[in-house]
Structure 1
Amino acid sequence: MSTPRTSIPVLDLSTARNPDGSFNTTFIDALRIAAHEVGFFQVTNYGSASGQVAELLDTVAGFFKLPLEQRLELDNRSSAQFRGYTRLGTEITRGRADSREQIDFGPNREPLDDVPADRLYRHLQGHNQWPDGYPELERAAEAWAHLMSGVGAELLAGISVALGLPEDYFAEPFAGTPAWMAKLVHYVGGQVPAAGTQGVGSHADYGFVTLLLQDAVGGLEVQPHGREDWIAVAPIPGALVVNLGEMLEVATNGYLMATVHRVTAPPPGVDRYSVPFFWSPRLDAVIDPVTLPAALAAEAPGVSQDPDNPMLSSYGANVLKGWVRAHPETARLHYPELIA
């Protein structure tokens, strides 16, 4: 029986491939252990430009210092795609308000008008909302999303190889119109009485691979499957925190877990900024079970059973279910049939 971890692994992405382009077996073995045993790890040397991380976090902080009336010009209640600005304390996790405000954005595409009633998730394709008087925010965020799309695809290729599959095994669901999404998040403490110390409550992510840039404040904690204690994720300057989503848990029958995590709000007067990016497939992607090598299949415990949060093999349905729950005011305006 291995000793329970008290920290999460750190991987150097610059060592992922050999000079001939093939994946390095040492890196793949470390990736498999991190993905299977914890479902969380940190990644360094992933290709960010010099100064890009600091500039992005400074630009995000600058937006949340704008007057509230300017931020509310991007109110996500106006968006059927749940894009734009979410007011402090109005996003809900596990039935409780979170101590954060944020901007959500994704691929900027034309909304779809003719959407069947059984595929309401197709309404999630649409436009972003950015502040007219602060163009540097859109530039920095879109540049980051472009970088993260490449990192997400590379890590998913490595995970495929770690599962004994071709590295392009999961490429098809992402082809053409991947529905990645990202957030620019500001955590504050002491301003949302209903939240208590909850920055964001315990939850798992909807998609495939999450790439989180966090500042130096800390507060992120993870709970590996089968454990009652929580592991603090100590910030490493410039590193990405990586975790796996529900699509990979469903696909691998639980060999890879969508690990539960949470954020504790910072103390009053302290600001915490983070930029999570969710590398996710097309909205219409349906993920079939993977045939794992026998040795790995023997270690797959099955998909987590939470009657309050069933996991769905349809990515679009899975993410819409989560957003309706997290943003009830926006959902009531644009998806009243799902609220009922």
Structure 2
Amino acid sequence: MKISPVVDKELSQIPIIDISALVSRTDERYTVASQIKQACCECGFFYIVGHGVDEDLQQRLELLSREFFAQDLESKLKIRMALGGKAWRGYFPIGSELTSGKPDHKEGIYFGAQLGEEHPLVQDGTPMHGCNLFPANIPLFRETVLEYMEAMTHLGHTLMAGIALSLGLEESYFADRYTADPLILFRIFNYPAYSSPSDSEDKWGVGEHTDYGILTILKQDHSGGLQVKSKSGWVAASPIPNSFVCNIGDMLERMTGGLYRSTPHRVQNLSSRHRLSFPFFFDPNFNAEVKRIELNGLLINDDKKQRWDGASVHDFQGTYGDYVLNKVSKVFPELQRTVLSNKVIEPVNFK
């Protein structure tokens, strides 16, 4: 298999945005919003610094995650996804997650908003809602993950206010319509090193894809491996200390009629060590119907040839829950058959 070259121009093609004015809500946040707009229009990816997320918290999360993945498989399977039921939480081993039908070369743990059995959505058996699974043998793992998710949820609200301003909307536009109670999905992924350089030629940590929702906020370690698709080829999104990589998802592309791009990306760990990444997905409420935003002079950039799957997010109609369930049922087809066997997942309504 021939591998497309990676164009190592990440600092010129993926902008770095200091969002401290958004965090502090000073007048300079309008300048930040303008920078976000340019990034979302041109490449759909940007780094953020000045975000205010505690570095010590990030370091603790990384250390505890490495401790978890260093265990034997039997120990990790004690919190396997099948035990999470409809909440769709827990650990999966290497090769269990699919991208475009092909197994990914990674293992990971799925988390979401921590909801008790008394929550109405849990009582109704709504998929992707419920309690998380945590390893009992790693002290402070649970507390650290929940603390990190709380910090990232706050950051997600801050960034969505900036994205609203970037579109000329009220800062509360997305919170008022979609994200007052967002669907929070958090993953910790471990990408093992390949045993030899030849093994990497046909194995991707995760293959080409776009994210499903509104906004992804990614913490990555120092190994590298994230690649973003651009007009000039695949661009390396190399790690920058104490930054996050942000990208928009399919639903924001749909809302903006293609003005903001949900850009394909992929991962290949070519380092000699394990690679950790921590994608946090800040998405619309599960039951929210996703609609196009009325923007003056908005043009739909619906080039299906640019997408690896030939699909169009602009043809989708329905709730975000409809969209995301259709997607994840293809990522974990066996889990969908066994855990959600009584839940009929209809094909997404594309014209």
In the TM superposition, what is the alpha-carbon distance from 1:286 to its structure 2 partner? 0.9
Aligned to 1:291: 294
Pairwise CA RMSD: 2.6
> Are the aligned partners of 1:189 and 1:197 in contact in 2 as well (CA < 8 Å)?
no
> Are the aligned partners of 2:223 and 2:269 in contact in 1 as well (CA < 8 Å)?
no
In the TM superposition, what is the alpha-carbon distance from 1:304 to its structure 2 partner? 4.8
Q: Whole-Å Cα distance in 2 between the matches of residues 233 and 140 of structure 1?
A: 26
In the TM superposition, what is the alpha-carbon distance from 1:45 to its structure 2 partner? 1.6
**AA paired with 2:295?**
L
Q: 1:281-320 counterparts in 2 under 5 A?
A: 281-294=284-297, 297-298=298-299, 300-302=300-302, 304=304, 309=311, 311=313, 312-313=316-317, 314-320=319-325
Aligned to 1:102: 108
**AA paired with 1:71?**
K
Q: Whole-Å Cα distance in 2 between the matches of residues 161 and 176 of structure 1?
A: 17
Aligned to 1:163: 167
In the TM superposition, what is the alpha-carbon distance from 1:105 to its structure 2 partner? 0.4
In the TM superposition, what is the alpha-carbon distance from 1:189 to its structure 2 partner? 3.1
Aligned to 1:149: 153
Q: 1:115-134 counterparts in 2 under 5 A?
A: 122-134=126-138
Question: Kindly tell me: are residues 130 and 17 of structure 1, through their superposed partners in 2, closer, same or farther at Cα, counting changes over 3 Å?
Answer: closer
* 2:46 maps to which of 28, 41, 44: 41
Aligned to 1:262: 266
**AA paired with 2:226?**
L
Q: Whole-Å Cα distance in 2 between the matches of residues 199 and 146 of structure 1?
A: 27
Question: Kindly tell me: are residues 140 and 196 of structure 1, through their superposed partners in 2, closer, same or farther at Cα, counting changes over 3 Å?
Answer: farther
1:26-65 C-alpha deviation (Å, 9 max, x unpaired): 2121111011111000001211224222221111111101
1:123-149 C-alpha deviation (Å, 9 max, x unpaired): 221111111111322211111111111
**TM-score w.r.t. structure 2 length?**
0.85
In the TM superposition, what is the alpha-carbon distance from 1:195 to its structure 2 partner? 8.8
1:53-89 C-alpha deviation (Å, 9 max, x unpaired): 2221111111101221111011112322321001111
Aligned to 2:122: 112
**AA paired with 2:302?**
G
Aligned to 1:245: 249
1:72 aligns with 2:82: no
Q: Whole-Å Cα distance in 2 between the matches of residues 9 and 177 of structure 1?
A: 29
* 1:219 maps to which of 200, 221, 225: 225
> Are the aligned partners of 1:93 and 1:326 in contact in 2 as well (CA < 8 Å)?
yes
Question: Kindly tell me: are residues 114 and 15 of structure 1, through their superposed partners in 2, closer, same or farther at Cα, counting changes over 3 Å?
Answer: closer
How many residue pairs get matched?
324
In the TM superposition, what is the alpha-carbon distance from 1:216 to its structure 2 partner? 0.5
- Larger mean Cα displacement after TM superposition, 169-178 or 282-291: 169-178
* 2:18 maps to which of 12, 21, 26: 12
Question: Kindly tell me: are residues 339 and 76 of structure 1, through their superposed partners in 2, closer, same or farther at Cα, counting changes over 3 Å?
Answer: farther
Question: Kindly tell me: are residues 71 and 302 of structure 1, through their superposed partners in 2, closer, same or farther at Cα, counting changes over 3 Å?
Answer: same
Q: Whole-Å Cα distance in 2 between the matches of residues 92 and 277 of structure 1?
A: 19
**TM-score w.r.t. structure 1 length?**
0.87
Name the SS of the counterpart of 1:274 in structure 2.
Answer: strand
> Are the aligned partners of 1:14 and 1:46 in contact in 2 as well (CA < 8 Å)?
yes
In the TM superposition, what is the alpha-carbon distance from 1:238 to its structure 2 partner? 1.8
> Are the aligned partners of 1:187 and 1:266 in contact in 2 as well (CA < 8 Å)?
no
Name the SS of the counterpart of 2:278 in structure 1.
Answer: strand
Q: Whole-Å Cα distance in 2 between the matches of residues 191 and 330 of structure 1?
A: 29
In the TM superposition, what is the alpha-carbon distance from 1:288 to its structure 2 partner? 1.3
Question: Kindly tell me: are residues 82 and 170 of structure 1, through their superposed partners in 2, closer, same or farther at Cα, counting changes over 3 Å?
Answer: same
**AA paired with 1:204?**
T
Name the SS of the counterpart of 1:170 in structure 2.
Answer: helix
Aligned to 1:52: 57
Question: Kindly tell me: are residues 246 and 23 of structure 1, through their superposed partners in 2, closer, same or farther at Cα, counting changes over 3 Å?
Answer: farther
